[in-house]
């Protein structure tokens, strides 16, 4: 497993990904179908077949061949909560854990929403209200201007040009721009949300997460500190469970996990105009333009042209993928090594993978 993040291949990515215009309006969602939820603390999970769905069964093996060729270790496709495809490659299996990398940012955004609903924080308050002052090299006045929302939307204005954009030490957190004036995928600014949540709830972040999300939906896995990073490791089904929770807008079966529809909507729609394809740490498809990690450029078109416009996604380094498509009742997860490009989030692999998925489901 790779242990460092690299920025490369931007030109190839942009040529492939920026070729289709997006629509910033919400995609109409068809009437809701009944969702299935697997029981807690059980390996039981109902399935349905490609034939039942009247999908193209001749596209199943080419999809598996594509996944294996592109260094996939785990792939799951849910339709309305039921498993249609579950495939493991090489020595990987259903019990093994894998890092979500930045796909886990979606876990953090969800946790912030719970903490706000419970009255521990407000995303419009200064980060210093929960971390204390002098958490950066900024002046007290500059620090006070940065809100929790800025951390959720990658708009803190902190300097991302240093040697290590993951560094959360005080000397690494330097003023560059006014908050809300610039979008840049800055991992250090994101990682500080752990401290914000811990300071707000008076509990270790991972303990609060386990209590409020993991254990309530039957996930397993854990947050593990790796240098400056706090990475989530779990098996593939746990990622699928979290995807299903978001397919149902924060409700597990009939139990609200994030009992705040307004926050959920804000989290999964455009959060600022600087990057229309970004919510609260979720990537959004179907918009008219997008920005990507490692670049300051604004690219025209949809983030993933081959994917449905209403797709929301958690996208992690080395092609960890969590796709949620409300209009089709789909949750799709992919874990493994990087297919082609060692990027921190979206890659050309997203579009290539959706070409194969479309062959199956259309």
Token pair in block for residue 209: 């997460």
Q: Please work out, in degrees rounded to the nearest 5, the angle formed at the alpha carbon of residue 207 by the alpha carbons of 222 and 337.
A: 20
Q: Where are the domains of the chain?
A: 10-36+94-120+202-326+334-361
Distance separating alpha carbons of residues 294 and 10, to the nearest angstrom = 8
Neighbouring C-beta atoms of residue 41, cutoff 10 Å: 8
pLDDT tens-digit series, residues 16-67? 444 445 555 444 444 457 999 999 989 999 999 999 999 999 999 999 999 9
In order along the chain (362 residues), what is the average pLDDT of each group of 10 residues? 38 42 49 86 97 98 98 99 99 98 98 99 99 98 98 97 92 97 96 99 98 99 96 99 99 98 99 98 98 92 98 97 99 95 82 98 92
Third-level CATH fold of 10-36+94-120+202-326+334-361: Beta-lactamase (3.40.710)
């Amino acid at each position: 497993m790779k242990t460092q993040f690299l920025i490369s291949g931007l030109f190839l990515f942009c040529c492939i990904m920026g070729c289709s215009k997006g629509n910033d309006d919400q995609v109409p969602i068809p009437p809701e179908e009944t969702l299935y939820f697997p029981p807690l603390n059980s390996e039981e999970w109902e399935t349905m077949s490609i034939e039942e769905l009247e999908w193209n069964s001749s596209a199943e093996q080419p999809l598996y061949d594509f996944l294996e060729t592109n260094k996939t270790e785990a792939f799951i496709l849910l339709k309305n909560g039921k498993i249609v495809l579950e495939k493991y490659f090489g020595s990987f299996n259903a019990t093994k854990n894998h890092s979500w990398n930045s796909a886990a940012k979606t876990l953090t955004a969800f946790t912030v929403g719970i903490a706000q609903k419970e009255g521990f924080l407000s995303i419009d308050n200064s980060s210093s209200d929960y971390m204390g002052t002098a958490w950066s090299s900024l002046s007290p006045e500059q620090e006070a201007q940065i809100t929790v929302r800025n951390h959720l939307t990658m708009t803190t204005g902190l300097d991302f040009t240093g040697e290590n954009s993951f560094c959360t030490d005080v000397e690494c957190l330097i003023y560059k721009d006014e908050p809300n004036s610039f979008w840049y995928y800055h991992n250090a600014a994101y990682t500080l949300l752990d401290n914000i949540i811990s300071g707000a709830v008076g509990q270790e972040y991972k303990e609060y997460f386990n209590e409020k999300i993991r254990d309530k939906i039957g996930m397993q896995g854990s947050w593990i500190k790796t240098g400056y990073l706090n990475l989530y490791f779990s098996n593939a089904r746990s990622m699928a469970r979290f995807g299903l929770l978001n397919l149902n807008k924060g409700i597990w079966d009939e139990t609200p996990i994030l009992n705040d529809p307004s926050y959920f909507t804000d989290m999964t729609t455009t959060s600022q105009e600087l990057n229309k394809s970004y919510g609260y740490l979720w990537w959004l498809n179907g918009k008219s333009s997008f920005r990507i990690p490692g670049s300051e450029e604004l690219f025209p078109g949809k983030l993933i042209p081959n994917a449905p416009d209403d797709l929301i996604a958690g996208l992690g380094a080395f092609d960890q993928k969590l796709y949620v498509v409300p209009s089709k009742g789909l949750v799709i997860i992919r874990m493994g090594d990087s297919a082609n490009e060692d990027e921190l989030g979206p890659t050309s692999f997203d579009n290539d993978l959706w070409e194969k998925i479309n062959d199956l489901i259309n």
